[in-house]
Structure 1
């Protein structure tokens, strides 16, 4: 049975579930944690994926410069992985970047193969000074970052 995934902009009603999804990844050390307050302040950058009314995934699109956005906080709840939800989220975020006229979408990830299947290529993360100076400078992994940078040109 094929499930229908619906992606939409997140609302304040989604904050609790967004927090839970992101916190699950953060506890594994594979995503930066986000407080409920941060999620509320940045809710307009988040999207969610639903199946039959249940929120099963999330992601956000953060502007890093006039021609660059980053996909962040991309996650799918454990019982729904491998069902195309991540792809639906990425497609929605890429479409949003196109609509905003932004030609480059990047991500820092441990899931390189997933992003490559979705049209991204591996690049040197140092080509993103916008990211390094905005976020990486505050990260505890700053000098030993093991995430891989990927880029999609639109």
Structure 2
């Protein structure tokens, strides 16, 4: 089973919405409306297996040298197959192409990100993230996500 990553298109919006909603219902990802996904589709990538979208992720620019990996998810039945790492690799290459030197994420899946070269950091070092998204989050006063960072060469 070979996964192929590509940039998302408007045709992917419904499957992205469903995939993200599954995670959001569990409280482990911020929800994204179809309207927001359409507006931000150029920041999303998808992973396909045999032409079926089975994973997604996006890159959100937080500053001149900082991007965040967001909305990283894999459909049930496709987890543990290396698809998430392929998505992260693709997003890191996108960051490099944009001459970004730091890639961060807020996550509950710390071992996954560590396996992909990220280090645990204090989330307070990302005021850009706090002011962009955290102010809108229900967990803002009791955030239990862990910040991870990868510095690119």
Aligned equivalents of 1:114 and 1:148: distance in 2?
A: 12
SS of the residue 1:79 aligns to: coil
Aligned pairs (5 A) from 1:59-78: 59-78=57-76
Q: Which residue of 2 aligns with 1:17?
A: 15
Q: Which residue of 1 aligns with 2:134?
A: 136
SS of the residue 1:49 aligns to: strand
Aligned pairs (5 A) from 1:23-102: 23-102=21-100
Q: How many residues matched? A: 152
Query: What do the CA deviations read for 1:23-60 (whole angstroms, capped 9, x no partner)?
Result: 00001110000000000000000000001100000000
The unaligned stretches of length 5 or more in structure 2 are none
Aligned equivalents of 1:70 and 1:92: distance in 2?
A: 13
Q: What is the TM-score normalised by the length of structure 2?
A: 0.99
Query: What do the CA deviations read for 1:82-110 (whole angstroms, capped 9, x no partner)?
Result: 00000000000001100110000000000
**CA RMSD of the aligned region, Å?**
0.4
Aligned equivalents of 1:135 and 1:23: distance in 2?
A: 17
Aligned equivalents of 2:138 and 2:25: distance in 1?
A: 15
* 1:140 to partner: Cα distance: 1.1
Q: 2:111 aligns with which of 106, 110, 113?
A: 113
The unaligned stretches of length 5 or more in structure 1 are none
SS of the residue 1:56 aligns to: strand
Q: 2:145 aligns with which of 127, 147, 152?
A: 147
Aligned equivalents of 1:109 and 1:56: distance in 2?
A: 20
Aligned equivalents of 1:105 and 1:132: distance in 2?
A: 15
